[in-house]
A and B are shown apart, each in its own frame.
Chain A
Amino acid sequence: MDFLTIISDTLGELIAPTTAAYVLAAIGLNIHFGMTGLMNMGQAGFMLLGAYGFAVTQSMGANLFASVCAAIALAVIYALLLGIPTLKLGPDYLAMVTLAAAEIIRIVGRSTAMTKITGGSAGISPQDFTTQFEGTSPLPNGATTFLLWTYNNNIANSWWLRIVAWVLVAVAALLCWRWFHSPWGRVLKGIREDENAIRSLGKNVTTYKMQALILGGIFGALGGIIFVLPRSVQPDSLGRAVTFYTWTILLLGGAATIFGPILGSCLLWVLLTFVKELMRGAIPDTVISSNQVESLGWVIVGVALMCLVIFRPQGLLGDRKELAFDA
């Protein structure tokens, strides 16, 4: 067992692009759930659409900006398609429909019939869509070591990707902070509390909910792009599990808070990696195999989610009095 590797691997999660991708997805979910009270159980659907929108257009040779726009546009269309029928219904309906729709996207995306566009279940491999992004890097080629971490400057899981991802997170958090403390955010919070009351006060609740759904979906799509950049676009890696991870992150950090998603994501991944690495290091492979360690990691996340919701529903940063749940 090598403690130093475990520690540096674990702390590496702190700045990993995947962590940032989950922060973005959780910020989106925070706009949905924390601010507006929308039970979006299909954030992974937004992420997958964003990833497809970006990667497919990139592999077709579109420029970087156009690809990001395509990802955002897909998220907007998807939010509209989901929102129009369900936003007028109760929270259970939105939960089920978003869950179902995310699954539809995954099933259709991985279908053999879609192989020409999405690569089917094999997905889109990195060399087809990451070159342009890597090309925009102002950093010199090679690898750089900063404190504990050594990564390539430009290629794949790179410093450049980390910089872009966390700058995006910072911008998203800043925007969220503005929105949370604006009259617009107040209306959303009002809808979270009681949409009929808000309706009786002359606000077009459906429009606000739709704005929130779209906005959160866009952050989800951006998260999806960041998520796939260091790996490949694999429809099955953006399934229901990702949505549930995102929920755990949001509830861990604290719904309806600005820094909740950031804290939640960093903490979850650092702790989870630490526990898994420790198990891999400490327990011989004959007792618990590597696959089983992976399963155990999931069990931990599941139990953590249950305990969080039961014992500390406001998360780490939330105000007990301002829970995002109905009392």
Chain B
Amino acid sequence: MTAVTPSVRRHRLGLLLLPAIFALLMALCISLTSPSLAFAAEAVPTCNPTATNGCVNGILQDANKQPIANVELKLSGKESATTTTDAQGNWAFSVSADGTYTVTMDESVAKQYGLKAATAQVEIEKNSFDKARQVVRFDKPAPASASSSVGGSTGKAQSGNSGANGSTSSSDTATTTNGSAIGANIGKRIWQQLFSGIIFGLVLGLMSVGMNLVYGTTGLSSFSHGEQVSLGGLMAYVGTQVLHWPLIPSAIFAVLIGALTGWIQNELIWAPLRRKRVGTMQQMIVTIGLSMALQYTFQFFFGGDIKGITKSVPASFNLGPVTTDAPTLIAATIAIIVIVGVSLFLYRTRLGRATRAVSDNAALAAASGINVEQVVRIVWILSCAMAALSGVLLGIYLNGISWNTGATLLLLMFAAVTLGGLGTANGALVGSLIIGIVADMSSLIIPNDMRYASALAILIIVLLIRPQGLFGKQQRVG
């Protein structure tokens, strides 16, 4: 496969114009503002986000985590409605428009139960899997700057959505509403976005390293890798919510299922195709078919809504300038441990060295006595297991996983892998971190629903400047 034709002339004025055009396009997009549309929101007993509706919900609890029943909550913003909490403190609104919503309760009620705020703001985006549902909490104190502002907004909202995106977006909106707070909060926002970008990048890295290992050893860009991620998350959901296992056994179950599917698909599909000497482009289209089949099989069994792996709302706390919660940090730690483990495996063990040898030159590796098929089998198992694990972590971190979560992230994986250099293991990690940070940081500048676009634009720009990726090598022609 010709990786990079070295006849690429890198420094051409014409090429440099392209990023400029992209930037211009982006700028154009930002300058346009959206008119608000008024539709009815409705109070519902339980809410599941779909393509046409988003959810604002929560469990109202007092300072001692006891449910508070029969409290009236008002939803305002793009749409408005009123509801009362049930015996377990549950409440939910189903909304149809994307945008910012404010949930308010009587301030005296908040005082009575020791809640630190009576108002919370969230941002709903129906088609973003991590923002179609926002869990609202009232147990966060209001920042000092916000208390000086007028209106009902007496406290900064903290959406309990453990996803850093969720929590930051709510602080975003708080900042924009309370005009006076902009200056004070901008630094905090940068830190928060950087933090969430790194976490996202780490989880993404877990997926892309595996994908890149497969590419390195077999030359195949797997489009079905996203489905392996969804599979991991959904299996963890099956473990916790269907089989009612604790989280850790469920996660292990999910990873094992992931590894198993890796092994099975290698034995059933990829190994025979390699034996038949089917080209990698042809195999790539097979992965597209597989991706479609798997994705809609998930939809068939799990439906179109988001599945929460854990139902509890974790307590968030401040860590230096950023707000976070325990599951997020644990997910990040696990991701780091696994990535370090994989690097150690690649560089310190016999099998790992064999893997790198196969990546480098499969024919040569085979000639020097390495069992290439064995290595590829292990790479498939490892990569699918890692994808499943990342799916579980993502599900915990974003508070839910759906049938197409992986498919949404596939492009970011590709971007990360290409950015790092196709087939280079550490490149994928660095690429993922960059993509994660760019995606989350860019929402400081461009509208939040376009942040993935910015990551993809980065990919295209990098290809212009350094087509072989950050860590890729050029190859000889002929």
Direct contact of A and B (CB under 8 A): yes
A247: which B residues are within 8 A, CB to CB? 285, 288
Q: Is the CB of A84 within 8 A of B18?
A: yes
- Tell me how many residues of B have a C-beta within 8 Å of chain A: 70
Q: Is the CB of B453 within 8 A of A113?
A: no
Does B297 sit at the interface, judged by CB under 8 A? yes
Of the listed residues A196, A199, A305, A307, the one surrounded by the most CB atoms of chain B closer than 10 A to its CB is A305
Does B452 sit at the interface, judged by CB under 8 A? yes
> Once bound together, how far apart are the Cα atoms of A121 and B128, in whole Å?
12
Q: Is the CB of B422 within 8 A of A306?
A: no
- Mask, A105-144, CB within 8 Å of B = 1, is 0011011111111001100000000000000000000000
Q: Is the CB of B463 within 8 A of A97?
A: yes
B7: which A residues are within 8 A, CB to CB? 88, 199
Closest residue of A by beta carbon distance from B284: A95
> Once bound together, how far apart are the Cα atoms of A292 and B32, in whole Å?
38
- Mask, B425-454, CB within 8 Å of A = 1, is 000000000000000000000110110110
Q: Is the CB of A310 within 8 A of B286?
A: yes
Smallest distance from the beta carbon of A45 to chain B beta carbons, Å?
A: 11
Does A309 sit at the interface, judged by CB under 8 A? yes
Q: Is the CB of B3 within 8 A of A108?
A: no
Majority SS at the chain A contact face: helix
Q: Is the CB of B415 within 8 A of A100?
A: yes
Q: Is the CB of B18 within 8 A of A107?
A: no
Q: Is the CB of B290 within 8 A of A91?
A: no
Q: Is the CB of B467 within 8 A of A89?
A: yes
Q: Is the CB of A309 within 8 A of B282?
A: yes
> Known contacts A84-B15, A85-B463; is A39 also within 8 Å of B281 by CB?
yes
B288: which A residues are within 8 A, CB to CB? 244, 247, 302, 305
Q: Is the CB of B297 within 8 A of A299?
A: yes
A110: which B residues are within 8 A, CB to CB? 127, 449
Smallest distance from the beta carbon of A213 to chain B beta carbons, Å?
A: 15
Does B278 sit at the interface, judged by CB under 8 A? yes
Q: Is the CB of A104 within 8 A of B457?
A: yes
B103: which A residues are within 8 A, CB to CB? none
Q: Is the CB of A92 within 8 A of B98?
A: no
Does B4 sit at the interface, judged by CB under 8 A? yes
A108: which B residues are within 8 A, CB to CB? 25, 29, 450, 453
> Known contacts A90-B4, A299-B292, A301-B292; is A111 also within 8 Å of B29 by CB?
yes
Does B368 sit at the interface, judged by CB under 8 A? no
B1: which A residues are within 8 A, CB to CB? 90-92
> Once bound together, how far apart are the Cα atoms of A107 and B453, in whole Å?
6
Does A304 sit at the interface, judged by CB under 8 A? yes
Q: Is the CB of B463 within 8 A of A302?
A: no
A93: which B residues are within 8 A, CB to CB? 418, 463, 467
Closest residue of A by beta carbon distance from B403: A295
Chain A 291-318 residues near chain B, CB threshold 8 A: 291-292, 295-299, 301-310, 313
- Mask, B446-478, CB within 8 Å of A = 1, is 110110110011011001100100000000011
Closest residue of A by beta carbon distance from B127: A121
Does A65 sit at the interface, judged by CB under 8 A? no
Closest residue of A by beta carbon distance from B468: A89
Question: A103 is contacted by which of B15, B273, B291, B456 (Cβ under 8 Å)?
Answer: B456
Chain A 14-34 residues near chain B, CB threshold 8 A: none
Question: B35 is contacted by which of A115, A196, A240, A298 (Cβ under 8 Å)?
Answer: A115
> Once bound together, how far apart are the Cα atoms of A292 and B301, in whole Å?
8
Q: Is the CB of B279 within 8 A of A325?
A: yes
Smallest distance from the beta carbon of B13 to chain A beta carbons, Å?
A: 12
Question: A121 is contacted by which of B21, B32, B98 (Cβ under 8 Å)?
Answer: B98
A325: which B residues are within 8 A, CB to CB? 278-279, 281-282
Closest residue of A by beta carbon distance from B454: A104
A117: which B residues are within 8 A, CB to CB? 32
Majority SS at the chain B contact face: helix
Does A322 sit at the interface, judged by CB under 8 A? no
Q: Is the CB of B293 within 8 A of A303?
A: yes
> Once bound together, how far apart are the Cα atoms of A318 and B304, in whole Å?
38
Does A86 sit at the interface, judged by CB under 8 A? yes
Question: B304 is contacted by which of A114, A121, A291, A297 (Cβ under 8 Å)?
Answer: A291
> Known contacts A96-B418, A103-B411, A291-B304; is A111 also within 8 Å of B450 by CB?
yes
Closest residue of B by beta carbon distance from A106: B453
> Once bound together, how far apart are the Cα atoms of A182 and B104, in whole Å?
71
B450: which A residues are within 8 A, CB to CB? 107-108, 111, 113
Does A188 sit at the interface, judged by CB under 8 A? no
Does A147 sit at the interface, judged by CB under 8 A? no
B477: which A residues are within 8 A, CB to CB? 196
Closest residue of B by beta carbon distance from A240: B407
Q: Is the CB of B279 within 8 A of A299?
A: no
Question: B33 is contacted by which of A84, A113, A292, A299 (Cβ under 8 Å)?
Answer: A113
> Known contacts A107-B450, A302-B294, A305-B285; is A90 also within 8 Å of B2 by CB?
yes
Closest residue of A by beta carbon distance from B277: A327
Closest residue of A by beta carbon distance from B452: A107
- Mask, A221-244, CB within 8 Å of B = 1, is 000000000000000100011001
Smallest distance from the beta carbon of A139 to chain B beta carbons, Å?
A: 36
Q: Is the CB of A89 within 8 A of B98?
A: no
Does B299 sit at the interface, judged by CB under 8 A? yes
B33: which A residues are within 8 A, CB to CB? 113, 116
Q: Is the CB of A95 within 8 A of B289?
A: no
Q: Is the CB of B460 within 8 A of A100?
A: yes
> Once bound together, how far apart are the Cα atoms of A246 and B197, in whole Å?
35
> Once bound together, how far apart are the Cα atoms of A299 and B295, in whole Å?
8
Smallest distance from the beta carbon of A78 to chain B beta carbons, Å?
A: 11
> Known contacts A112-B447, A305-B285; is A101 also within 8 Å of B456 by CB?
yes
Q: Is the CB of A121 within 8 A of B126?
A: yes
> Known contacts A108-B25, A302-B296, A325-B281; is A88 also within 8 Å of B467 by CB?
yes
Q: Is the CB of A85 within 8 A of B18?
A: yes
Closest residue of B by beta carbon distance from A291: B304
Chain A 251-309 residues near chain B, CB threshold 8 A: 251, 291-292, 295-299, 301-309
Smallest distance from the beta carbon of A305 to chain B beta carbons, Å?
A: 3
Closest residue of A by beta carbon distance from B7: A88
Smallest distance from the beta carbon of B23 to chain A beta carbons, Å?
A: 13
> Once bound together, how far apart are the Cα atoms of A239 and B32, in whole Å?
23
Q: Is the CB of B478 within 8 A of A196?
A: yes
Does B8 sit at the interface, judged by CB under 8 A? yes
> Once bound together, how far apart are the Cα atoms of A310 and B297, in whole Å?
21
Can you spell out 13 A-B residue pairs with CB atoms less than 8 angstroms apart? A91-B281, A93-B467, A96-B459, A100-B411, A113-B29, A251-B285, A291-B303, A298-B299, A299-B300, A301-B289, A305-B286, A313-B282, A325-B281
Q: Which residues of A contact B (CB under 8 A)?
A: 39, 81, 84-86, 88-93, 95-97, 99-101, 103-104, 107-108, 110-117, 120-121, 196, 199, 236, 240-241, 244, 247-248, 251, 291-292, 295-299, 301-310, 313, 325-327
Q: Which residues of B contact A (CB under 8 A)?
A: 1-5, 7-8, 14-15, 18, 21, 25, 29-30, 32-35, 51, 98-99, 126-127, 221, 269, 273, 277-282, 284-286, 288-297, 299-300, 303-304, 407, 411, 414-415, 418, 422, 446-447, 449-450, 452-453, 456-457, 459-460, 463-464, 467, 477-478
